[in-house]
Structure 1
């Protein structure tokens, strides 16, 4: 099974600015071979001002190729400036995944 997920945990009181940055970055990444397959931004219901970005890639190698892009480095620096505390990164190899089948 292939797959790699990066979770970025961050705390910010400037979420609207953060959301604008996310939208800008999505537009810049385009459909390159190293772009993420999917990304999800979540808000922690139990800790206001805490968020998680869940970014899915085909593989670890693709994720590292993406991380080495200059625009991603710029994005990370800008993201850090909008955070109230340093972001925390989780790098996860997918070991198993499942999805219920409809009607089954």
Structure 2
């Protein structure tokens, strides 16, 4: 089954973080193993964000984390955070698409 990594952080610079993500997407094209990303903002705390990254497997996530562009992005990302980042690593044990 799949693997999900949640990056939980707070920032006062969401535009700068978004630019970093765009740079990572462009710089990791053809190399990255993440299959999807979602960036979410807490409705009750506009400085609180979570990025949800999806991978086919834990091993794929580890390959992704070893990319030079991932490490460079992380180094630039940390100073933009007022809290975190914290990484939550989840093995998918059940995945069902729901139709309305």
Q: TM-score, normalised by structure 2?
A: 0.94
Larger Rg belongs to: 1
TM-score norm. by structure 1 comes to 0.91
State how far apart, in whole Å, the 2-side matches of 1:97 and 1:19 are: 28
1:11-70: CA deviation from partner (whole Å, max 9, x where unpaired) = 0000011110011101111133x4210000000001120000000001000000110111
Report the secondary structure of 1:79's partner residue.
helix
**Structure 1 unpaired stretches of 5+:** none
Gaps of 5+ in 2: none
Counterparts of 2:55 and 2:74 in 1: how far apart (Å)?
A: 17
Which structure dedicates a bigger proportion of its chain to strand?
2
CA contact (8 A) 1:8 1:53 kept: yes
Partner of 2:10: 11
Match of 1:95 in 2: 93
CA root-mean-square deviation: 1.1
Moved over 4 A (4+): none
